Structure 1
Amino acid sequence: MKSALTAIAFVTMAATATLAQAQDKVTFLTSWYAQAEHGGYYQAIANGIYKKHGLDVTIKMGGPQVNAVQLVAAGQADFFMGKDFQVLSAIEQGVPLTTVAALFQKEPQGMVTHTDVNTLADLKGKTVLVATSGRSTWWPWLKAKYGLTDDQARPYTSNMQPFFADKTIAQQGYPGSEPYTAEKAGMKVKFFLFADDGYPPYGNTIATMQKTVKERPDLTQRFVRATVEGWKSYLENPAPGNALIKQDNPKMDDEMLAFAHRKLKEMKFFDAGDAAKQGAGIMTDARWKNTYDFMISSGQIKPIPNWQQAYTLQFVKDLKVMP
C-alpha cells in the first residue's frame, strides 16, 4: 500500500513539474509607462491568472521612443497594446498586424479645458495642444466634426504649465492623468471624452502579427481570456496590480493610481456598450467598419482591399466573460 501511495505521489509530482515547465513565455508591450490604464495586465501577473492559463508573461513598458509595431514585427514582443488607427495604417503599409480583443469599449482620449468650455464645439478660436500622435488620429476627427483648423494646433509636450498659464488653451489628455495633475495644482478643469461625441475606435486593444494568430491560436486564446479576467479582477480590487505598476514605474503613487482607477470604473471603459451584453473584450464588424470609413473620409489612409484583416473576432465572439 505504501509503495502504491509513493508511486501515486511520484506521478503527481511529475505531472506538476511538467505543467510548470509547460508555461508558454509571452512578451507583452504596453503603450506607455506603467499606469492604471494598464492595470489588468499587471493584475493578471500579480494574481497568477496568466500562470493559471499556462502563460509566463513579461510586460515591457512603452514610451515616447518605443515603436511597438517595429518591435512586434521584429519578434521582440508577441502582443502589444494597440490602437485601431495604428493597425489599419500598418495594414495599408503592408505590415500584417491584427487586433484580437478590445479591453476598452471606448478610446480614453479626450480634451482637458478650462471651465468656460461647455462642449467641444466651444474650442473654435482657442489654442489646442496636440501631440504628434494626435495629429494622425483624433485631431482630424475633431477638425471635421467641429470645424476646427490646423492654425489652432500647437505641440503638446506632456507639460501642463502652458495650459495652467493661459485660459484660452485646451489640451489633449486622459481622464486618469491630466485632470489629476490639475486637481493637485488647485486648478478646476473640465474633461470631454471624445468617444462620448462619436469618436469611433476602441481603446486598449490587444494586437499581434497575423502569423501569431495563424500559428499559435491556442496561445492567443489563452492570452486574451487571461487578460480579460485580469481586467475584471483589477477593477474589483486593484491593489495587487498596482503594486507591480509601482515597481515598473515608481512615479506612480497610490493617490494617482486610485484616482485613475476610479475614473476607469466611473466612465465604464471595460464594461460599456456591447461588452455589457456580449462580454468583456468584445469587438464587432460594425464598429470596425465605422473606424475604417472615418479613416478613409479623413484622408488618413487610402482604401484597403484587405482592411478587415486589421481585426479578428475569433478570440472574443465566444469568450463570454461578463464584466
Structure 2
Amino acid sequence: MRRFRLLSAASLAAILIASGCGTADTPSTPAPGASGARTPIKLQLQWFFQSQFAGYIAAVDKGFYAEQGLDVQLLEGGVDIVPQTVLAQGKADYAIAWVPKALASREQGAAITDVGQIFARSGTYQVAFKESGITGPADFKGRKVGNWGFGNEFELFAGMTGAGLNPGKDVTLVQQQFDMQALLKKEIDLAQAMSYNEYAQLLEAKNPATGKLYTPEDFTVIDWKTVGTSMLQDAVWANTGKLSDPAYQQQTVKFLLGTVKGWAYCRDNPEECRDLVVKKGSKLGKSHQLWQMNEVNKLIWPSAAGVGLVGEADWKQTVELSMNTKNQTGDTVLTKQPEGLAYTNDYIQQALEQAKAAGIDVTGAAFQPQTVTLNAGGA
C-alpha cells in the first residue's frame, strides 16, 4: 500500500541519466485522441489493487478516462516498487505516491511534480491495546514500537519528536510486517496502521478471551491528524520535464478530469466501487473492501476547495515536518526546501472547472460516511 525503499542519490542519478527523464530528449506526448485512437497511459499505483485506488479503477471501468481519449493501464505496486522512481524512469506516465517520500526522491534528483492531491487528509494511526495504558506519544517511551519503515514512519517520528522523545534512544523500534499479527500476539506495544486497512484487520480478528471479534473499545488509536504531525499522502505525480510539453499538459488535465469523476463516483456509489475492486482481483474480503472504501472517502471528502487541489498550509506542514523531524539515525527526510516545480494546481484547477461544467460535484459538501460492519477475516 505504501511501503517502498528510497534509492540512494547516486543510484537515482544513474537511473535518471539512463532514462533521459526531464531532458530535451524526452519524446513529446501525442495529443490525446488526436488521431481518433485513445492515447495509452500508464499509472503506477503504490500497492496492490484495493479500495485505496478505487477512484482510478472506477475511472477505467466506467469509461471516464476513455471519454477523455485516454486508454489508462493501472500498474499494481508491491514491496519493492517505488512509484515515483517508476515515473522518473519513464516507465509510467503518472504515479501515486505519498508526498514526503516523493519529495525525498525529488531531492535525490527525480524530476516529478504533484499535480493532484487526491487525499486531503492522512490515514495513519499508531494503535495499542487499551490495557497498555498508552494514550499518546509521550507514553511510547520504553515501549516496543512497530513501524513498516520504507518512508512510512515519518509521522510517527514527528509525533515522538514533538513529545520530546528520541526515536533512536527512547523506544525500541521493531520492523513491523504488513499485518497486525505482532500487536495481536502482543509482541509489540504499538503498531502502525492505516485507518482504511490495518486498523480494520484488528476489528476482523477474534479476541481469544471472548471468542468474539475485537471492538474499537479494545484499542487506543493515536491519530496523527489529532496530534498535529500528519503529512500529505496519496497524490498524483507527473513528469516535471514533460510538463513543458503542451500535449502532456493537455493530457494531464484530461487524466485528472477522469480521475475526479472516478473518485466522485466512488463517493456516491461505494458498494459498486467495492465490487469493482474485488472484481479487479483484490485478495481482501468484501466487508474489508467496503470499510476501506468508506475510510478512503473520509480522507478525500468533503473537499471545500475542490478535490485534488494542494492546500498551501498542508503542504507547508508536510515540508516543515520533513525538514525538522529526525529519524533513529539523526537524519531528516529533507535537507532543504523543495526546489523547482514541486507542486502545481494549474492542471487540477482546469480539470475541476470542466468537471463542474459537466455537473460533477467536486466538493462533496454533503458527504456522509457509512457505518460498515466488518466480518471475521474481512469476508
How high is the TM-score relative to the length of structure 1?
0.85
Q: For the structure 1 residues 91 and 19, does the alpha-carbon distance in structure 2 shift closer, same or farther, using more than 3 Å as the test?
A: closer
- 1:267-298 Cα shifts (integer Å, max 9, x gaps): x21124xx22x111111333222222222222
User: Is 1:213 the equivalent of 2:240?
Assistant: no
CA apart distance, 1:136: 5.7
Partner of 2:136: 119
Partner of 1:302: 335
Q: Is the 8 A contact 1:47 1:240 kept in 2?
A: no
Q: Aligned AA for 1:67? A: V
Partner of 1:12: none
Give me the whole-angstrom Cα distance separating, in 2, the residues matched to 1:212 and 1:236. 34
Residue from 62, 70, 87 that aligns with 1:47: 62
- Higher Rg: 1
CA apart distance, 1:27: 0.6
Q: Aligned AA for 1:234? A: C
CA apart distance, 1:134: 4.1
- 1:202-246 Cα shifts (integer Å, max 9, x gaps): 221001210232221010011112111111111211344334422
Q: For the structure 1 residues 91 and 179, does the alpha-carbon distance in structure 2 shift closer, same or farther, using more than 3 Å as the test?
A: closer
Q: For the structure 1 residues 20 and 120, does the alpha-carbon distance in structure 2 shift closer, same or farther, using more than 3 Å as the test?
A: farther
Partner of 1:159: 179
**What is the SS of the residue equivalent to 2:146?**
strand
Give me the whole-angstrom Cα distance separating, in 2, the residues matched to 1:162 and 1:140. 20
Give me the whole-angstrom Cα distance separating, in 2, the residues matched to 1:295 and 1:152. 22
Q: For the structure 1 residues 140 and 118, does the alpha-carbon distance in structure 2 shift closer, same or farther, using more than 3 Å as the test?
A: closer
Give me the whole-angstrom Cα distance separating, in 2, the residues matched to 1:292 and 1:80. 20
Give me the whole-angstrom Cα distance separating, in 1, the residues matched to 2:59 and 2:82. 24
Q: For the structure 1 residues 252 and 21, does the alpha-carbon distance in structure 2 shift closer, same or farther, using more than 3 Å as the test?
A: farther
Give structure 1 stretches of 5+ with no counterpart: 1-17
Q: Is the 8 A contact 1:283 1:316 kept in 2?
A: no
Q: Aligned AA for 1:245? A: V
Residue from 105, 123, 129 that aligns with 1:108: 123
Q: Is the 8 A contact 2:115 2:345 kept in 1?
A: yes
The aligned runs of 1:65-84 (5 Å cut-off) are 65-84=80-99
The aligned runs of 1:85-104 (5 Å cut-off) are 85-104=100-119
**What is the SS of the residue equivalent to 2:150?**
helix
Partner of 1:9: none
CA apart distance, 1:142: 2.1
State the identity %.
21
Partner of 2:201: 181
| Further displaced range: 132-141 or 280-289 | 132-141
The aligned runs of 1:3-22 (5 Å cut-off) are 21-22=36-37
Q: Aligned AA for 2:193? A: G
Give me the whole-angstrom Cα distance separating, in 2, the residues matched to 1:65 and 1:257. 23
**What is the SS of the residue equivalent to 2:114?**
strand
Q: Aligned AA for 2:148? A: A
**What is the SS of the residue equivalent to 1:309?**
coil
User: Is 1:254 the equivalent of 2:286?
Assistant: yes
CA apart distance, 1:260: 1.4
| Further displaced range: 239-248 or 165-174 | 239-248
Give me the whole-angstrom Cα distance separating, in 2, the residues matched to 1:239 and 1:50. 21
Q: Is the 8 A contact 1:179 1:189 kept in 2?
A: no
Give me the whole-angstrom Cα distance separating, in 2, the residues matched to 1:240 and 1:25. 26
Q: For the structure 1 residues 179 and 289, does the alpha-carbon distance in structure 2 shift closer, same or farther, using more than 3 Å as the test?
A: closer
Give structure 2 stretches of 5+ with no counterpart: 1-32, 206-212, 326-331, 354-361, 365-379
| Further displaced range: 146-155 or 212-221 | 146-155
Q: Is the 8 A contact 1:43 1:238 kept in 2?
A: no
- 1:31-50 Cα shifts (integer Å, max 9, x gaps): 11111111111111111111
User: Which structure carries more helix by proportion?
Assistant: 1
Partner of 2:363: 322
Give aligned pairs, total: 300
**What is the SS of the residue equivalent to 1:219?**
helix
Give me the whole-angstrom Cα distance separating, in 1, the residues matched to 2:102 and 2:147. 21
Partner of 1:194: 224
| Further displaced range: 220-229 or 311-320 | 311-320
Query: CA-atom RMSD, angstroms?
Result: 2.3
Q: For the structure 1 residues 61 and 135, does the alpha-carbon distance in structure 2 shift closer, same or farther, using more than 3 Å as the test?
A: closer
Partner of 2:300: 270
